[in-house]
DNA sequence: CGAGGTGTTGAAAGTGCTCAAATGGCGTGG
DNA sequence: CCACGCCATTTGAGCACTTTCAACACCTCG
């Protein structure tokens, strides 16, 4: 339906891409010289909402760095259900787990808010990882953090009920140190938040209503007002292994 | 209550430990010379059922290789619930994810069937990983596989109902190629299987009864007879992203 | 204005959980 | 060898939470 605007990385864009990579979680603070092979092979894309970048079990050729926008990672079952694995934004990377072991994507990826992405062939990254200890150590850190987040996700799904999971989601939108009255904005639409949290849209709507009743937060469309973060964290984190602020679960 | 029998690795045991490591998933097919620093620092333990090896958020000093027995990895919430992350057996490794990033265990570990374990300081592994590409590549493979398994776990919990999850668990006990009438034995007690699958013991009991009714399997205590693996996989894998045999979920 | 997407609400059904009680196996102490 | 107590497992009844199906309100866009 909508064409992806692929832009070859022109000389004047290479600086941009280098900077983008250096601001990403995977390549933060790495020298331009180290990143050069990646930058050479990188493509900058503007991708509209709804675009499916790849599907589960497709042969993996590229990994992606998100410059802006939101990307949903998901799996589809044979009977048509969808399980959302994660929804990622600026600075995050996806599709990279296929570097080792089998060469297939572990999930599908769909742009859910208009995005700017850097696309880089996995082969280049693979070569770099084998040659450069600094990069491989950084990826280790990232993978072990991803693992930790996954464990947290599993825990949340099994011990928190719907309103608590929503509360937890809101808490992760807070900046560290936030306490008093603040206003948040939901990063993407409620339907997606619902499936991101493993519940149906209707359940989300009702659970949010209950969360309002029980913690005193107020909502108006996509904006959320929280008077006391502590009250919300008390409500949600009671059913969790770590109390707020939940260092295990950034974003 | 029960003392852990720590055995210093004596010269005559070093060969054993080397062999054990070479048969593990993490160090398979690696030369004795490469493994030597690990073997030097390794301790072989016989650990009784019930022993808690470490708890979530404890400072991480060692990682473990399972020679025999079963180990439960879990988290506990503030209000006393427990979420089982995984239950592992021979050849598997745990506690290793703490190598990078923060130095704390991501979960607690408890021996649930009498086990023989090799205990190795994380510091040694860390040094080895930084120095040896073969090891770091192998660990990458393992971490990405672990990641894939975690994703599968999340998917299962969100799209399969209780009887289907049990069926899926049974399928993973089959050897590749099994079709016809076979008899399986549950690897550990039903209460633990229940929490491994994210349900209560009572639910497990009832769900197993329903699975019997709907797929024709028979059970007698811990043994399970399956006449047609295909019938079971059809029942369970319908709500899954990959059909049987589910390469994503070994064990 | 009409269409389609997003979000909310109601009623009914389903799934898994809690609490309680009964069963049966197994090891210990007598 | 038996009685006892403990633990794993099963079963029943009632309940809580989530889903399903349906209807409707809103909003935006053409």
In this structure, are residues B69 and B115 in contact, taking their beta carbons and an 8 Å threshold? Answer: yes
Please report the pLDDT score of residue B244 as a whole number: 73
**Strand ranges (E), B150-209:** 182-185
Residue B176 has pLDDT above 90, yes or no: no
Closest-CA distance of chain A to residue B83, Å: 6
| Nearest by CB: A147 against B76, B143, B239 | B143
Residue A32 has pLDDT above 60, yes or no: yes
Of A195, A174, A216, residue with least CA distance to A82: A195
- Span B72-81, average pLDDT: 91
Percent with pLDDT over 90 in chain A: 78
In this structure, are residues B224 and B218 in contact, taking their beta carbons and an 8 Å threshold? Answer: yes
Residue B251 has pLDDT above 50, yes or no: no
| Nearest by CB: A85 against B139, B154, B242 | B154
DSSP for A150-206 reads HHHHHHHHHH--HHHHHHHHHHTTSPTT--SSEEEE-SS-HHHHHHHTTS-HHHHHH
Q: What is the pLDDT of residues A151-208, one digit of tens each?
A: 999 999 999 999 999 999 999 999 888 887 999 999 999 999 999 999 999 999 999 9
Cβ within 8 Å, pair B154-A106: no
How far apart are the C-alpha atoms of A251 and A145, rounded to whole Å? 12
Q: What is the pLDDT of residues B220-242, one digit of tens each?
A: 989 999 999 999 999 998 888 88
Residue B108 has pLDDT above 90, yes or no: yes
Residue B1 has pLDDT above 80, yes or no: no
3-state secondary structure of B92: coil
C-beta neighbour count of A190 within 10 angstroms: 15
Please report the pLDDT score of residue A82 as a whole number: 94
**Strand ranges (E), chain A:** 5-8, 43-47, 52-54, 62-76, 82-88, 93-94, 108-121, 182-185, 218-220, 223-226
Residue A3 has pLDDT above 50, yes or no: no
How far apart are the C-alpha atoms of A169 and B189, rounded to whole Å? 35
Closest residue (CA to C1') to nucleotide D10 in the complex: B205
CB of B202 lies under 7 Å from some atom of strand C: yes
CB of A199 lies under 7 Å from some atom of strand D: yes
Q: Confidence band (pLDDT; 50, 70, 90) for A235?
A: very high
Please report the pLDDT score of residue A251 as a whole number: 46
Q: What is the pLDDT of residues A83-121, one digit of tens each?
A: 999 999 999 999 998 888 788 999 999 999 999 999 999
Mean pLDDT of chain B: 90
Token duo for residue B155: 């998917």
Rounded to 5 degrees, φ, ψ at B172 are -75, -15
Cis preceding linkage at B109, omega within 30: no
Q: Which of residues 147-206 of A touch strand C (CB under 7 A)?
A: 189-191, 201-202, 204-206
Which nucleotide comes closest to A194 if you measure CA to C1'? Answer: C7
Please report the pLDDT score of residue B5 as a whole number: 47
* Angle at A46 (CA atoms; ends A45, A48), nearest 5 degrees: 130
Please report the pLDDT score of residue B61 as a whole number: 96
Please report the pLDDT score of residue B12 as a whole number: 57
What is the distance in angstroms measured between the alpha-carbon CA of B11 and the sugar C1' of D9? Answer: 47
Mean pLDDT of chain A: 90
């Amino acid at each position: 339906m909508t064409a992806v605007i692929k832009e070859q990385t022109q000389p004047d864009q290479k600086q941009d891409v280098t900077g983008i990579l250096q601001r990403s979680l995977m390549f933060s603070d790495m020298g331009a010289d180290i990143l050069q092979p990646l930058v050479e092979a990188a493509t900058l894309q503007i991708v509209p909402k709804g675009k499916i970048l790849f599907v589960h079990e497709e042969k993996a050729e590229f990994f992606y760095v998100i410059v802006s926008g939101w990307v949903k990672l998901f799996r589809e079952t044979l009977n048509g259900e969808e399980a959302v694995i994660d929804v990622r934004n600026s600075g995050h990377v996806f599709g990279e787990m296929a570097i080792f072991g089998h060469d297939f994507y572990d999930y599908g990826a769909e742009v859910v808010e208009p995005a700017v992405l850097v696309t880089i062939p996995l082969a280049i990254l693979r070569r770099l990882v084998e040659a450069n200890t600094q990069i491989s150590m950084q990826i280790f850190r990232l993978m072990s953090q991803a693992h930790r987040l996954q464990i947290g996700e599993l825990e949340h799904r099994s011990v928190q009920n719907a309103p608590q999971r929503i509360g937890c989601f809101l808490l992760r939108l807070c900046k560290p140190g936030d306490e008093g009255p603040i206003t948040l904005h939901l990063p993407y639409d409620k339907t997606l938040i619902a499936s991101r949290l493993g519940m149906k849209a209707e359940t989300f709507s009702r659970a949010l209503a209950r969360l309002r009743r029980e913690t005193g937060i107020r909502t108006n469309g996509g904006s959320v007002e929280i008077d006391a973060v502590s009250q919300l964290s008390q409500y949600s984190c009671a059913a969790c292994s770590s109390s707020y602020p939940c260092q295990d679960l950034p974003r």
